[in-house]
Amino acid sequence: MTVAHAAPKKTQERVAILDLGPNTGDAKSEAIRKQLAIAVANAGLELLGPGAEEALAGIGGDDDGVQLAVAIAEAQRAFGALDCKAATAAAAKAGGIAAARQASGLAVPELARAWALLLLCADRAGDGPAAFEAAARLRAIGGSPDVPADVLARYPDVDVVAGVELIPLEITTDVAGAQVWIDLRYAGKSPLTVMLRPGEHVIAAASGSRRGWAAGSATKTQAQLAIPMKDHAGPWNEVALRVAGWKGQMPDPKELGWVMAKVRARVALVRRGDVVEAWGRIGLAEAPHRLGGDDATAPVAEAERLVELVVDRIHTWNDRAPDPDRPLLVEDPKLRGKDGRRRELPTKWWVYASIGAAIAAGVTIIYLQDAGGDRQRVELHYP
């Protein structure tokens, strides 16, 4: 017999799922976010939707993000079809776009995928210089699981600068003071002059949501490079940059509250590694706090239990009951004796002084009234 279960009651409460990593853009992180999203939806809570969810993982929903996704998809399709010429062209484009996004401080998992494809195609074609270049780029960003260890070992990290005449290059950008990255490593702020080895380079620049990139070979005939920077801001770009700026660390409650306010959510599930924490607040007047004390932290595998705690807190808030995670205003324990009865503390000296002053003022008033020609009866009323 099949038993029908009633659907969970909708609370119309938005829940923000923040992914602090590591590797917020890889398959494992995406799987964890999906698991948390399912637990939230099954509890009758509301998800934020596309764009905002990626931003809460430090991934911007900008227009160049769409271009990057298209380029990566094309590179992977061509590589699967054994068309390395097309794969190399698409992967190079993806690598440039991703480098500019890296300069903006965004999480860019596509960066490793692009350079992995470039290395694999160069290795397949027997193009040693291109393979060494791609291997160096991969090492700069920590490698890629898509490249077998034996392939990467064929192109070891070598000193390509020793005995080579370096080429000076002056780099300028549309926005003065933009962050400049050369070959996926931070180089400084524009304008700046650098010394490059001969050969291919990828140079990216960014300032906030404005960014651009250039790729080519360094030669003595070109002493200057101006990088145009387009504004790629999407609706959630500010949130994505804020989250990416935390660099995987738990932010200050005020920082977390800023992000929650931006996405209009009173509750947040914060994932760090294989652990999730529940944070929330009744309103904007207070900073968010962990819900449930020690119960606010749980392994990802116990996400359902954590979401049940969130639902309980939301119902408590909506019923205007005292928040169980916040201390109540209670009387001073010193006011109770050992028998539990309320104990009166000695009256402070200034209380008597105040009473004395009031009496003195009253006597003065009576004296003045009595000293007059008409006899009057004066009544003093004290609260």
Q: Give the integer Cα–Cα distance in Å for 176 and 174.
A: 6
Tell me the DSSP string of 75-115: HHHHHHTT-HHHHHHHHHHHHHHHHHHHHTT---THHHHHH
> With a threshold of 0.75, does the pTM exceed it?
no
Residue 353 has pLDDT above 90, yes or no: no
Cα separation of 273 and 296, whole Å? Answer: 15
Task: Give the separation between CA 14 and CA 9, rounded to whole angstroms.
Answer: 14
At 329, the pLDDT band (50, 70, 90 cuts) reads: low
For the cut 90, the answer to whether the pLDDT of residue 313 exceeds it is yes
Output the pLDDT for position 157: 86
Assign 163 a pLDDT band (cuts: 50, 70, 90): low
pLDDT on residue 100: 96
Q: Is the pLDDT of residue 346 over 60?
A: no
Q: Is the pLDDT assigned to residue 9 strictly greater than 60?
A: no
Position 293 scores a pLDDT of 82
**pLDDT tens digit string along 249-295?**
999 999 999 999 999 999 999 999 999 999 999 988 899 999 988 78
Residue 42 has pLDDT above 60, yes or no: yes
- For 103, counting Cβ atoms within 10 Å of its Cβ (0-12 exposed, 13-18 middle, 19+ buried), the class is buried
pLDDT at 369 over 50: no
Listed range (12-26, 101-115, 213-227, 346-360) with the worst mean pLDDT: 346-360
Q: Kindly tell me if the per-residue pLDDT of 7 is higher than 50.
A: no
Q: How confident is the model at residue 162 (pLDDT cuts 50, 70, 90)?
A: low
Quickly list DSSP for 282-323.
Answer: SSTTS--EETTGGGGEEEGGGHHHHHHHHHHHHHHHHTTPPP
Check whether 24 has a pLDDT greater than 60: yes
Q: Rounded to whole angstroms, what are the CA distances from 146 to 154, 155, 242, 246?
A: 15, 16, 29, 27
String of b and e for 169-178 (b: at least 16 CB within 10 Å)?
Answer: bebbbbbeeb
Instruction: Note whether 281 and 259 are within 8 A (CB).
Output: no
Evaluate if residue 101 carries a pLDDT over 80: yes
Average pLDDT over the chain reads 84
